[in-house]
């Protein structure tokens, strides 16, 4: 794991319990990067805030019956960030590939959503990407560049194809994105689509998407949640998902085919800690669900 050891530095352990790297199943990497943020900067402080929250909430998942304290998690620390988007993404790509090559599951804590591009680059072919996000992130360019939190899913479609992404909770799009979605028949579900269908039917649609792929990757932008539940995000959008809606659909994705996942865009300076607590709990629940699926 040359990239992992060279490009990361140790921090406080996520959850407070850390298994030695060689014995672990899940490897946590923080990415304190927010260089392309355009509204509320500060997601670079997200990894620390989420780790801190994870030390102060209960580790038992009632939904799954799994105790995170007993799961083999190793916290590798934070990625070394530089003031160059491509170089930072290249480092994270190498780190993620190291983790995957070692048959472990990367758990990446952002930082801004741009970092998901690096994780997906490291994945094999035939992977489906499920994105929880208030935004499409499907612009071709934003702010004069092609690497941005607003273009990340567009870049990902260039890797996995437009049929390889599903966006859940989306409710904020520009006209370019609306046209791109229609032209390429990208699968999306708004919060009101999910409520109209009901969670059971919505889960069936998510399952139908994931079953088409040998492997999946899950990315969760915290702004998928309504600001009532997660106010401390980079780009809050009204009328979002409730926690139970998000977690009920996450359970469908977090199975033995999920190669890894990330949670991004927590800006702890914009609330009193509620969003970091929500993020820590979501990460717990994703790991617990994946562990339950792998063991049973």
Q: In the chain, what are the domain boundaries?
A: 2-295
- Residue 8 has what pLDDT? 82
Q: Under a CB-based contact definition with an 8 Å cutoff, are residues 263 and 49 in contact?
A: no
pLDDT score of 10: 78
| pLDDT of 12 strictly over 90 | no
Q: How many percent of the chain have pLDDT more than 70?
A: 98
Query: What contacts 286, CB < 8 A, 6 or more positions away?
Result: 107, 218, 220, 250, 254, 261
Q: For residue 268, is pLDDT > 80? A: yes
Position 1 pLDDT exceeds 80: no
Look at residue 124 and tell me whether its pLDDT is greater than 90.
no
> What's the confidence (pLDDT) of residue 6?
67
| pLDDT at site 18 | 86
Per-residue pLDDT for 51 more than 70? yes
Average pLDDT value for residue range 261-272: 97
**What's the confidence (pLDDT) of residue 294?**
86
* Mean pLDDT along residues 233-262: 97
Give the contacts of 135 (CB within 8 A, at least 6 positions apart). Answer: 150, 170, 172, 173, 221, 223, 235, 237
Closest listed residue to residue 61, CA positions, set 291, 228, 259, 220? 291
Report the 10 Å Cβ neighbour count for 295. Answer: 8
Pick the CATH number of 2-295 from 3.30.70.580, 3.30.1180.10, 3.40.50.720, 3.40.800.10: 3.40.800.10
pLDDT, tens digit, for every residue of 149-183? Answer: 999 999 999 999 999 999 999 999 999 999 999 99
Contact by Cβ (8 Å): 188, 133: no
Is residue 3 predicted with pLDDT exceeding 80? no
Mean pLDDT over residues 262-284, rounded?
A: 97
Compute the mean pLDDT over every residue in the chain, rounded to the nearest whole number. Answer: 95
Reference 169, options 150, 188, 197, 190; nearest CA is 190
Q: Looking at the predicted structure, is the pLDDT value of residue 2 above 90?
A: no
- The whole-angstrom separation of Cα 282 and Cα 216 is 18
- Indicate whether 274 pLDDT > 90: yes
Q: Is the pLDDT of residue 255 over 70?
A: yes
Condensed to tens digits (0 to 9), the pLDDT of residues 59-77 reads 999 999 999 999 999 999 9
């Amino acid at each position: 794991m040359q990239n992992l050891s060279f490009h990361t530095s140790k921090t406080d352990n996520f959850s407070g319990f850390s298994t030695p790297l060689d014995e672990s199943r899940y490897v946590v990497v923080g990415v304190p990067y927010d260089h392309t943020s355009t509204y509320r900067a500060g997601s670079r402080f997200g990894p620390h805030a989420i780790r801190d929250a994870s030390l102060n909430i209960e580790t038992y998942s009632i939904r799954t019956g799994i105790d995170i304290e007993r799961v083999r998690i190793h916290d590798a620390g934070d990625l070394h960030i530089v003031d160059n988007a491509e170089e930072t993404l290249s480092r994270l790509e190498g780190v993620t590939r190291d983790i995957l090559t070692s048959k472990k599951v990367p758990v990446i804590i952002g930082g801004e959503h741009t970092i998901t591009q690096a994780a997906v680059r490291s994945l094999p072919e035939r992977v489906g990407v499920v994105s929880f996000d208030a935004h499409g992130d499907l612009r071709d360019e934003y702010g004069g560049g092609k690497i941005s939190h607003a273009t990340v899913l567009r870049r990902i479609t260039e890797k996995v194809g437009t049929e390889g992404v599903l966006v859940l909770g989306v409710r904020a799009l520009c006209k370019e994105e609306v046209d791109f979605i229609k032209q390429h028949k990208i699968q999306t579900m708004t919060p009101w689509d999910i409520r109209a269908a009901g969670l059971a039917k919505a889960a069936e649609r998510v399952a139908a998407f994931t079953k088409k792929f040998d492997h999946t990757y899950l990315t969760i932008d915290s702004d998928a949640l309504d600001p009532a539940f997660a106010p401390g995000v980079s780009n809050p959008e009204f009328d979002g998902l409730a926690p139970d809606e998000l977690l009920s659909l996450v359970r469908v994705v977090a199975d033995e085919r999920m190669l890894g996942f990330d949670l991004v865009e927590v800006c702890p300076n914009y609330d009193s800690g509620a969003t970091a607590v929500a993020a820590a709990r979501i990460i717990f629940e994703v790991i617990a669900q994946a562990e339950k699926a792998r063991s049973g």
